């Protein structure tokens, strides 16, 4: 139910809209006054049904509009008057004016409008589609090289039934190490790939320090590969191998360095331990210069690594990991209960106290619509155990989510995970 | 003139959207015209809130989530108390979505 004042404003808005679009309806071969009246009637009917407009007020308001057609509580019937038949939907005029285009476009348009407020999911998924297409070629390259290599541990290649794995393994070749051993970087660049790719790598190195939101798509589309964001230690562990062994074999032997596969529940089991092991190495940044990774890489014996897999008891990151916040979010969306739509003038925060000035808003609270001209609200941040780090925690979760959206195909975000744990 | 599509998520906006959907799929309204009606609604609603509505509301509660993305603030408050002229409401959690009012004046 709505209060009478809210109802009045709603009636006012309806009238205002109807009056202002009247011209469009009548001129330029528009559908005419009758359709407009039907629009108004239906709209008001729905409003009454939802309880947002109080019935009697609406009726009087409808009469006040003086459109010539009196509005009754069931206006659809009234609107038939200008037409001869009751089947107004099938009048030839309508068919002429509106060839059978509208359905798909129309149904989408208003919804798009509604979704203008940011919906990360939308962007993310579309980008993800792109990413799959974009990396397809390199993925093939990789697999062919893997076959030709005839490397002893080819099992690693075979054990990848999941196409998700391919993109990471392809751009992995171009992934620069993020830190520590610059000498290795250059050596690797010389050996593994032409100097032509070096600029891209360096771009990435520069931008990886401070990453803007826009960087993801740009880098991705420009380079055709996705830069590794989640830690380079695993790569460093490979470098010595390049020095030691033949380049080709090394290349083909490293299909995926960044942890288990995106669909962990299916794939972790079927994927040989080498990935997992390297994942563990990734997490320990101190281990980079120790000989241990070299040894492991050189031998690549599967059985040995099984032990290590066992102690990789971290379950891989999932979309559901972040958790309590989302639960609340979804709850909100599902119930669509209490919602405030407004414009903000000012949002300030002092420590954990937020103060916001909003204006021109609509609240839908307890099934009641309340309009307001101004609202101030001050809220206290819920106390978290580590409150000072809350921002960091949130932003990390955000970063991780962005990562996941854009780079759905890999899930080795272990570095972020570690940071979160540390926080 | 810039308009916010924000208010389309309100009751009145949803009702209008449904109506337009219905009429367009019934073939009696062209999609273009329907969009024009929606845009007009955005304007009228904004205007009406500015001129017709004078009430003030204050909200207090625990901030559960805050998010600022693309100039839109989203807050999720828990145990919120909303005081308005018409009384006081208490809700377990409320979601607040707010666009930047400065964008309208540009």
Please report the DSSP string for B56-93 in residue order. EEEEEEEEEEEEEETTEEEEEEEEEEEEETTEEEEEEE
Least confident of A3-12, A160-169, B21-30, B70-79: A160-169
Specify whether B69 is located in the same domain as B90.
Answer: yes
Inter-chain contact B56–A374, Cβ cutoff 8 Å?
yes
Highest-scoring range by mean pLDDT, A2-6, A56-60, A332-336, B80-84: B80-84
Across A69-78, average pLDDT: 42
- pLDDT, residue A142, reads 44
Q: Give the CATH number, domain containing residue B89.
A: 2.30.18.10
Query: Smallest Cα–Cα separation from B13: which of A346, A117, A356?
Result: A117
Domain range list for chain A: 4-100, 121-314, 323-380
pLDDT at B70 over 80: yes
Residue that wins the pLDDT comparison between A28 and A295? A28
CATH no., domain A323-380: 2.30.18.10
- Count how many domains chain B has: 2
Total length of chain B: 106
Answer yes or no: is B24 within a domain: yes
pLDDT at A89 over 60: no
CA nearest to A214 within chain B? B70
Of B51, B70, B88, the residue at which a domain comes to its end is B51
Q: Please write the tens of the pLDDT for every residue from A323-353.
A: 555 454 554 444 556 888 888 888 888 877 8
Inter-chain contact A109–B62, Cβ cutoff 8 Å?
no
**How far A146 CA sits from the closest chain B CA (Å)?**
43
Answer yes or no: is B106 within a domain: no
Q: Across the strands, what pairs with B83?
A: B58, B88
- Using CB atoms, pick whichever of B21, B93, B104 lies closest to residue A106: B21
Residues of B in contact with A10 (CB under 8 A): 12
C-alpha span between A73 and A58 (Å, rounded):
8
**How far B88 CA sits from the closest chain A CA (Å)?**
11
Specify whether B46 is located in the same domain as B25.
Answer: yes
Answer yes or no: is B1 within a domain: no
Specify whether B10 is located in the same domain as B44.
Answer: yes
Q: What share of chain B is helix, strand, coil (3-state, %, to 5)?
A: 40, 40, 20
Specify whether B47 is located in the same domain as B80.
Answer: no
C-alpha span between A254 and A237 (Å, rounded):
11
Domain span including residue B84: 58-99
C-alpha span between B94 and B9 (Å, rounded):
15
Q: Please write the tens of the pLDDT for every residue from A184-231.
A: 544 444 444 444 444 444 444 444 444 544 444 444 444 455 666 676
C-alpha span between A406 and A416 (Å, rounded):
15
Q: Determine contact, residues A268/A316, Cβ cutoff 8 Å.
A: yes
Specify whether B66 is located in the same domain as B38.
Answer: no
**How far B51 CA sits from the closest chain A CA (Å)?**
9
Inter-chain contact A113–B8, Cβ cutoff 8 Å?
yes
Inter-chain contact A110–B21, Cβ cutoff 8 Å?
yes
- pLDDT, residue A30, reads 72
CA nearest to B83 within chain A? A375
Residue of B1, B8, B48 to mutate for A, most A C-beta atoms under 10 A:
B48
Specify whether B47 is located in the same domain as B19.
Answer: yes
The mean pLDDT value of chain B amounts to: 86
Specify whether B42 is located in the same domain as B13.
Answer: yes
pLDDT at A398 over 80: no
Q: Give the CATH number, domain containing residue B30.
A: 1.10.287.190
- pLDDT, residue A254, reads 62
DSSP strand pairing (B72-84 vs A353-365) = unpaired
Residue that wins the pLDDT comparison between A360 and A175? A360
- Using CB atoms, pick whichever of B52, B54, B101 lies closest to residue A12: B52
Answer yes or no: is B23 within a domain: yes
Specify whether B33 is located in the same domain as B66.
Answer: no
pLDDT at B5 over 80: yes
Terminal-residue alpha carbon distance, chain A: 46
Q: Determine contact, residues B8/A113, Cβ cutoff 8 Å.
A: yes
Q: Determine contact, residues A195/A188, Cβ cutoff 8 Å.
A: no
């Amino acid at each position: 139910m709505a209060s009478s004042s809210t109802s009045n404003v709603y009636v006012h808005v309806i009238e205002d809209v109807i009056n202002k679009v009247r011209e469009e309806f009548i001129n330029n071969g528009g559908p005419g006054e009758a359709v407009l009246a039907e629009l108004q009637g239906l709209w008001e009917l729905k409003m009454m049904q939802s309880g947002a407009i109080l019935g009697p007020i609406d009726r009087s308001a409808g009469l006040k509009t003086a459109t010539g057609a009196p509005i009754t509580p069931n206006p659809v019937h009234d609107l038939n008057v200008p037409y001869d038949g009751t089947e107004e939907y099938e009048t030839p005029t309508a068919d002429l004016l509106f060839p059978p285009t509208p359905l798909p476009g129309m149904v989408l348009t208003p919804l798009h409008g509604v979704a203008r407020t940011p919906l990360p999911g939308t962007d993310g998924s579309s980008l993800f589609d792109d990413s799959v297409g974009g990396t397809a070629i390199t993925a093939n390259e990789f697999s062919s090289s893997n076959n030709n290599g005839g490397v002893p541990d080819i099992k690693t290649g075979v054990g990848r039934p999941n196409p998700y794995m391919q993109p990471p393994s392809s751009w992995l070749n171009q992934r620069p190490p993020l830190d520590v051993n610059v000498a290795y970087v250059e050596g690797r660049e010389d050996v593994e790939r032409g100097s032509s790719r070096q600029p891209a790598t360096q771009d990435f190195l520069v931008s990886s320090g401070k990453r803007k939101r826009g960087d993801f798509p740009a880098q991705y589309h420009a380079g055709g590969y996705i830069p590794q964001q989640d830690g380079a230690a695993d790569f460093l562990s490979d470098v010595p191998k390049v020095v030691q062994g033949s380049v080709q074999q090394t290349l083909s032997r490293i299909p995926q360095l960044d942890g288990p596969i995106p669909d962990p529940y299916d794939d972790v089991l079927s994927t040989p331990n080498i990935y997992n092991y390297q994942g563990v190495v990734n997490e320990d940044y101190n281990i980079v210069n120790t000989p241990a990774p070299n040894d492991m890489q050189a031998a690549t014996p599967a059985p040995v690594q099984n032990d290590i897999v066992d102690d990789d008891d971290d379950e891989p990151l999932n979309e559901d990991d972040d958790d309590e916040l989302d639960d609340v979010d979804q709850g909100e969306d599902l119930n669509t209960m209490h919602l405030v739509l407004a414009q903000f003038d000012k949002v300030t925060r002092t420590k954990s106290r937020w103060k916001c000035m909003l204006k021109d808003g609509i609240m839908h609270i307890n099934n009641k619509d309340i309009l307001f001209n101004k609202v101030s609200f001050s809220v206290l941040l819920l106390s978290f155990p580590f409150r000072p780090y809350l921002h960091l925690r949130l932003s990390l979760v955000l970063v991780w989510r962005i990562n996941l959206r854009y780079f759905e195909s890999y899930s080795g975000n272990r570095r972020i995970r570690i940071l979160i744990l540390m926080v | 003139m810039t308009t916010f599509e924000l208010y389309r998520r309100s009751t009145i906006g949803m009702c209008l959207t449904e109506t337009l959907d219905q009429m367009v799929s019934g073939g009696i309204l062209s999609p273009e015209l329907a969009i024009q009606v929606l845009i007009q609604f955005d304007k009228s609603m904004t205007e009406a809130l500015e001129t017709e509505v004078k009430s003030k509301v204050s909200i207090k509660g625990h901030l559960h989530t805050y998010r600022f993305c693309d100039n839109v603030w989203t807050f999720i408050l828990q145990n919120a108390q909303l005081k308005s002229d018409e009384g006081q409401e208490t809700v377990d959690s409320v979601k607040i979505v707010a666009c930047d009012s400065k964008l309208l004046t540009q």
